[in-house]
Structure formats: C-alpha cells, structure tokens
Amino acid sequence: MFFEEFVSELVRLTVDYSEIKVRNALSNSKALSADVNSAFDPTFKEVFEGRNASKLGFGIVLTKYTGARGKAGASDASAEYVGKIRKLFNDKKIAWQTGELGKVDEGGGGTVAKYLAEYNMDVLDCGPPILAMHAPYEVSSKADVYSAYEGYKAFFGSEV
C-alpha cells in the first residue's frame, strides 16, 4: 500500500491528479527486484538444476522467472525487458549470469517482483548469488556484490 500511496503523491504533485494517471505511471515504470539468488551448492545439488543454477564469481544474476508450483505466485519478465537489461549490462561491461531459484518445488521461493508485476510494470529479479541462503552463515563473492552495485548504478542512470 505504501508504494501506491507514494506514486499517487508523486502524481498529485506533478500533474492534475487522477487514478488513471497513477495507474499509467505504475504501468510505464521499469524495475529491478534487487534480491539475492541461490548459488549452486554442491552439498545440496539435488535441489538445483545444475545447468541453470547461478555460480559464485560469475556476476550479478538475472532471474527471468520466479515462483513455485508452475505459475503460482510467479513473476515472469518479458524477453524484451530481459534483453534491454542484458544489453545495458553488456554495454557497461558488467559481469552477469542467468540463474533460477532451484528445481521446481525443491528449491526456490518468491521475491517482491510478483507484487510489482501486478501493476503491469516491467520487472526483473536481479541480484548477487548467495551460497547457503538462509543458513546461519551465508557466503557471497565480493566480485558478484560489486557487479550488483555496478548493475544497479547503471540501471538508475539509464532510460531502459
């Protein structure tokens, strides 16, 4: 609710307020859901799809699809939007990789992307991979964290 109120207030302060202008502002927005992703953990390889799992040290992770049990509670970024983000990162020489949250119904989870997608905005999950996510000790790569910083900075400075 805070997000809607915030955008409503921005619209009210900049143009003649109307509900349709708020909806248009939300629907014309672009977002990165800056959330971590599970890195492949060889100790628990059975919950990962090895060829689609992110790995430490390979850059920020772009996750096109998140959710569980098929499309339940899911967010699925458009191929066009993923392509724009990939091009932005390539142009800025930012290390990136694709990855999933884990095998269907074994790994994975949700992010805020699905809530932003409800406004019909373009949104993509994008963040550094983490080994042993939600464990008492999590491990990340300094290079991945830096590529995430560079990626977010490039996104905020772009007109994607």
Is the per-residue pLDDT at 102 higher than 80?
A: no
User: Confidence class of residue 134 from pLDDT cuts 50, 70 and 90?
Assistant: confident
- DSSP states of 117-153 as a string? HTTT-EEEEEE-EEETTTSSS-EE-HHHHHHHHHHHH
- Whole-model pTM: value is 0.90
Q: Looking at domain 30-156, does it have CATH number 3.40.630.10?
A: yes
Q: Give me the residue spans of the domains in the chain.
A: 30-156
Q: What is the pLDDT of residues 9-39, one digit of tens each?
A: 999 999 889 999 999 999 999 999 998 999 9
**What percentage of the chain has pLDDT greater than the value 90?**
72
Would you tell me how many other CB atoms lie within 10 Å of the CB of residue 84? Answer: 17
